[in-house]
Chains A and B, each alone.
Chain A
């Protein structure tokens, strides 16, 4: 249905454009001097048609399913009225299944008839939307064409509207952030209503399996996230131990030593490394690096878990190398040549110059690069999902299996989930911690550069 609607919008827009433009041409043939080019009259008509049509579509589409669902639930006989959220969701699924013609198992005839009525109403609503949309379009067309005249400032009006559209597009980014903050924050507060925040932040026990029914035994659910924070930190530290030195040294070599020929080979290598999807790194970590480390550990007489933090950390470190090196490369290149020349003039060798002059001058930038790399390592998901484990061990031993914040978010939110349980909500709380952490890291990185950067020019 949506396609038909958009097709109608497109057809109306094209027709409106030609109608508006030919009207403007007609003014011109009657000897009038136009304020705006005829095309702008056409664009004006387009805007007057599609804006109301699209606004109607957006509002109607958001509202219709919700209203019809409520109406369908109300029309159910009393015996089938849902009592809580869970049975409400089940009923709705049944109704939707009936409506889309795919029923699994037995559906009571009462529900079936409501489902069929729902499908009927939905179709009706689609057609009503289309007809009303066409009416809106026609109204917009009439309104616009009546305003067209030789003196009408079509260009100014259109340009004002275009500017508004551009502004709206740039606000999408802000809306995304607002959306993230609110969706995460809202669920997090709901989570903290069930589990106190101090228990979440400072508890040492993580086992999110909560009982679905009150009479179920066994899993009581513990939401102490410290093991996850420790696991994340452990893997991040391993990753930074790999990416820090290697990334920094490659940046130094590329910026200070490499001939253009070497640079033309080394730079693409790092770019390709940066372009490899993380799921590929995860595959490599789980199937090649982890067994390798395990057998190496056995040869040395060490007991290595098959999903060790070391494997995930090492591969993640390699993933971050290009990130560290490209940012550091930029900062090192930004150090003015005069500083180096001064150092050489004092008789220092190249490496002494780099160590004593270039790096200190570039330090704020390098620190901020490292912080961004850390936030990247903490937020990375696929490598740890595939190569690190699920067991929430509180350990700093890199040979044991640990779990991370992102792994838990992924695990808690895939598969069957009921949206109201503390288990599901805890994923949002973890997401909130993660989001807040990366935001803080970015902010600090920015401040470091601002505060300590030396202005050389």
Chain B
């Protein structure tokens, strides 16, 4: 062949320069490979960080805190008509006895402001359990009943350790209080090493003689402070220094409420249990009452409509394009169209739903019916593409065999090819449905973002969907709703996980290689 060796350029592969070049090339090789590993590692790391973050944030939402106390079922409050009838008890005031009992447990809340703060520890629907208990057994009227009262979301967060850390240290020597209530001085104290007493600093409190004093200043061994819980007496006594690490200005609970909750915790009347309410309630403005049942059933109805519409349509379209369509311009147009639709941003489908289904056809706003219609159009291209692939994977011998024994073209397809392609079609459908379940943007535009308390009972009731509920809750400022959001995300991810698992199972179980 041709002689291309050039006599005046000799490569000496053993020379230092050549060795260095080879080393450099190998280093470049290793570097390049490391980039690849780093890229995949980054993606994996991000996924782990995302899931850990969500699970960590969601954990508080799955438990709820109760006040487990003995409450006298005072007839004058809970049985206003005095006849012990169901109607009378149902209209009774169950908050009053619970509040009275709470004031007994936490003495010192005498003025109006303090009373209101105290009542705010209990959820607005916290005494429903008490009412149900009395309604179940009406003989309990007039007796003292052991009942459970739901705490408000802020109190709940403190119980879970999310509001502030409470650090307690023994104080040196003894202090002498000047009084038991109001603003008092505590004399005989060594100087406190604290950053300050403003509301932006950690709160400093002194526990002495069974009461709590919030320190507001110190001078020459005398501490000045406000009594949060009254002291027993003014005798000199041992004391403890307590700090609430999060400053009062940056938490929703005041120092006084924290003192109360700390006291209740020490009295052992606060208990925690699994938050069933989260799965049985609709949405609510109160974080401790809000649940995802409304959003879940909204999603369920939406998915039902989507499935009913897009599965038959998608499969029929796939059959036509794959098996019957003549090869001409129109068929090309349809195919290009489907591929393009698959890449159209989902929010555009929302615009379509708004302009066509709501404004032109006048279908009701905010309903799963319209949501299902829009999502059906959204996932239709996915299902058509997957179904076509599944149909194309069935070997021609099956079709030809059927035609050979005298079946018509349609009989060959519907009796022989379609059943064999069904697992592939179902896999594609499930993946498309999983996509639809997580889709949010188009639903926002057709009004499924309304605040809806009632759990929808049909596809024409106003409803919201699970991803939309996540969006709505994530917008709320309360810390308790952030936990709810994360918990709702976990439920959503769980559903997606199940659906994708089902798709993989179907693929593994029924996939055939010809």
The interface bits of chain B over 140-162 (1 if a CB of A lies within 8 angstroms of the residue's CB, else 0) are 00000000000000000000000
- Comparing A21-29, A112-120, A142-150, A346-354, the segment that makes contact with chain B is A346-354
Contact of A163 among B32, B324, B493 (CB under 8 A): B324
Q: Are A381 and B346 in contact (CB under 8 A)?
A: yes
CA distance A355 to B25 in the complex (A): 13
Q: Are B46 and A282 in contact (CB under 8 A)?
A: no
Nearest residue, chain A, Cβ from B442:
A381
Contact of B485 among A171, A180, A257, A283 (CB under 8 A): A283
In this complex, the interface size class of chain A, counting residues with CB under 8 Å from chain B, is: 35 or more
Assess whether A177 is interfacial by the CB under 8 Å rule: yes
In the complex, what residues of B have CB within 8 A of residue A385's CB?
441, 471
Using A166-B317, A287-B482, A381-B347 as known contacts, list a sample of 20 further A-B pairs with CB atoms less than 8 Å apart, ordered by residue number in A. Answer: A163-B320, A169-B320, A171-B334, A176-B377, A180-B352, A184-B352, A184-B355, A246-B42, A249-B38, A276-B496, A277-B467, A279-B467, A279-B474, A280-B54, A349-B29, A351-B28, A375-B343, A380-B345, A381-B444, A386-B471
CA distance A187 to B358 in the complex (A): 14
Nearest residue, chain A, Cβ from B469:
A279
In the complex, what residues of A have CB within 8 A of residue B441's CB?
278, 381-382, 385, 406, 410
Given A245-B39, A249-B36, A284 contacting B445 (CB threshold 8 A): no
Interface residues of A in 334-376 (CB under 8 A from B): 349-352, 354-355, 372, 375-376
Q: Are A170 and B36 in contact (CB under 8 A)?
A: no
Given A286-B474, A351-B33, A435-B348, A413 contacting B381 (CB threshold 8 A): no
Contact of B444 among A250, A410, A428 (CB under 8 A): A410
Contact of B317 among A159, A172, A382, A386 (CB under 8 A): A172
In the complex, what residues of A have CB within 8 A of residue B31's CB?
351
Where the two chains meet, the residues of B that have a C-beta atom closer than 8 Å to any C-beta of A are 25-26, 28-29, 31-33, 35-40, 42-44, 46-47, 50, 53-54, 57, 312-314, 316-317, 319-321, 324-325, 333-334, 337-341, 343-352, 354-356, 359-362, 377, 380-381, 384, 408-410, 434-435, 437-441, 444-445, 447, 449, 467-468, 470-471, 474-475, 482, 485-486, 489, 492-493, 496, 500
The interface bits of chain A over 285-329 (1 if a CB of B lies within 8 angstroms of the residue's CB, else 0) are 011100000000000000000000000000000100110000000
Contact of A177 among B53, B313, B319, B341 (CB under 8 A): B341
Q: Are A176 and B439 in contact (CB under 8 A)?
A: no
A-B contact count (CB 8 A): 254
Interface residues of A in 267-285 (CB under 8 A from B): 269-270, 272-273, 275-284
In the complex, what residues of A have CB within 8 A of residue B44's CB?
266, 269
B438 to chain A, nearest CB (A): 3
Q: Are A269 and B43 in contact (CB under 8 A)?
A: yes
The interface bits of chain A over 199-218 (1 if a CB of B lies within 8 angstroms of the residue's CB, else 0) are 00000000000000000000
Query: Please, could you name 7 A-B residue pairs with CB atoms under 8 Å apart, sorted by A?
Result: A159-B408, A172-B377, A179-B352, A269-B44, A277-B467, A283-B486, A414-B447
In the complex, what residues of B have CB within 8 A of residue A428's CB?
351, 355
Contact of A275 among B50, B354, B496 (CB under 8 A): B496
Where the two chains meet, the residues of A that have a C-beta atom closer than 8 Å to any C-beta of B are 62, 65-66, 155, 159, 162-163, 165-167, 169-174, 176-177, 179-180, 183-184, 186-187, 245-250, 252-254, 257, 266, 269-270, 272-273, 275-284, 286-288, 318, 321-322, 349-352, 354-355, 372, 375-376, 378-382, 385-386, 406, 409-410, 413-414, 419, 427-428, 431, 434-435, 438-439, 441-442
